A = this chain, B = another copy of it.
Amino acid sequence: MNIKQVAKKARVSTATVSRIINDSSLVSPETARRVWRTIRQLNYHPDSQARSLVSGRSRILGLIISDITNPFFPELVKGFENLALQNHYEVILNNTNYDPARMATCVRRLLERRAEGVAIMTSEMDPELTDELAKRGIPIVFLDVGSVRNRISNIRVDYAQGIREAVDHLITGGHRRIGFISGPMSLKSACTRKSAFLKCWRAYGFAEDNGLIVEGNHKIDGGESAMSRLLQLKPRPTAILASNDLSAIGALGAIRLAGLRIPEDISVIGFDDIDFGQFTHPPLATIRLSRTELGGKAFNALYRILHGDSKKGEEYNVETHFVARESTGPAPQPGRQTQ
């Protein structure tokens, strides 16, 4: 079922069939109709490998993430993929599983498949690997990476905005002792979030009190243990900001386990706005980061480079915003603090 068989059956040359598949404008309408009928009859599907071999365009994009089972990523993938498919690109999804060696494998495979562009959101990125890609002129878009090398585009996440809104909200509610549960410091994105928090913190003139910042692991159990450490502080923090929603959900559990009430005793705010946050008890206030938008912007960045509408190395921006839900309330009166 190749182009020759179609050409033969329709009594035209392969060139004509090819023209019809790609752009019928150079072919008489009558011939086009006849050939289309043959194509349908034979159920012909052009071989994209052959097409891209000669055209030099694979119509494949790579998307490299850490781990699809991390609830942060599915929406991002969906946002990227939907746009890609609409624009007739195929997406090859790569999970590095937080393993640098696997990352190298991913890049090699994308090179062999002749991917036209690559979007990357992982911590374990060896600069040599990006050079591999860059050397071949393959556009790269990083998502949420602090410092970006020359000629590599970046989608910045404006953490500061959302954090400012959240802290404003807490301060308006009378909170002054705010704890922070960070992600694992081995993860670049966790560091970025922590330093955005710290920066906001200092901007409010608060002293940097290390006891109020504890490290979790961006998972629920890490949030639980981080929170139980925070609960031992005296005076206890009246509000908690977590580096992601999973940590915050863990914190909810630890607080409840300690016999305290949310938000009467402690307010909790997460980060990301994963779906589950709406259904925790109480529903989790959070800072929304639209991952669909993040994925979509990553695709657009690549698309614009591939179509010459923009240069490599541009910066894009995704905003974050505070989402109020029932897990925050006014600070408890100092005297009434239980325990």
The interface of chain A, by Cβ under 8 A from chain B, is 1, 43, 45-50, 52-53, 58, 67-69, 71, 73-75, 77-78, 81-82, 85, 90-93, 95, 97, 105, 108-109, 111-114, 132, 135-136, 220, 249-250, 253, 256, 275-276, 278-279, 281
Known: A74-B69, A92-B90, A93-B93. A108 touches B281 (CB 8 A): no
Report the minimal beta-carbon distance from A89 to chain B, rounded to whole angstroms: 10
Identify A256's interface contact among B53, B71, B278, B281, CB under 8 A. B281
Is the pair A58, B68 in contact by a Cβ cutoff of 8 Å?
no
A46 to B108, CA, bound (A): 10
Is the pair A279, B220 in contact by a Cβ cutoff of 8 Å?
yes
For this chain, the copies found in one complex come to 2
Is the pair A112, B53 in contact by a Cβ cutoff of 8 Å?
no
Identify A47's interface contact among B67, B112, B256, CB under 8 A. B112
Is the pair B135, A43 in contact by a Cβ cutoff of 8 Å?
yes
Report the minimal beta-carbon distance from A286 to chain B, rounded to whole angstroms: 16
Known: A81-B95, A90-B92. A113 touches B48 (CB 8 A): yes
Identify A68's interface contact among B68, B111, B112, CB under 8 A. B68
Is the pair A77, B68 in contact by a Cβ cutoff of 8 Å?
yes
Is the pair B91, A45 in contact by a Cβ cutoff of 8 Å?
no
Is the pair A109, B90 in contact by a Cβ cutoff of 8 Å?
yes
Residues of B within 8 A of A253 (CB): 279, 281
Report the minimal beta-carbon distance from A116 to chain B, rounded to whole angstroms: 12
The 5 closest A-B CB pairs, nearest first, are: A49-B49, A69-B74, A45-B111, A48-B112, A68-B74
A43 to B112, CA, bound (A): 11
Is the pair B68, A90 in contact by a Cβ cutoff of 8 Å?
no
Is the pair A45, B112 in contact by a Cβ cutoff of 8 Å?
yes
**Which of A53, A67, A278 has the largest count of B CB atoms less than 10 A from its CB?**
A53
Is the pair A53, B47 in contact by a Cβ cutoff of 8 Å?
yes
Report the minimal beta-carbon distance from A133 to chain B, rounded to whole angstroms: 11
Report the minimal beta-carbon distance from A48 to chain B, rounded to whole angstroms: 4
Is the pair A78, B71 in contact by a Cβ cutoff of 8 Å?
no
Pairs A–B under 8 Å by Cβ, sample size 24: A43-B132, A45-B111, A46-B112, A47-B53, A48-B113, A49-B49, A49-B52, A49-B53, A49-B113, A49-B114, A53-B53, A68-B68, A68-B74, A68-B78, A69-B75, A69-B275, A71-B71, A74-B74, A78-B95, A90-B92, A92-B92, A93-B93, A253-B281, A276-B276
Known: A49-B52, A49-B113; 11 extra A-B contacts, CB below 8 A, are A43-B132, A45-B111, A48-B114, A49-B53, A49-B58, A69-B78, A74-B74, A78-B95, A81-B93, A91-B93, A93-B93
Residues of B within 8 A of A136 (CB): 1
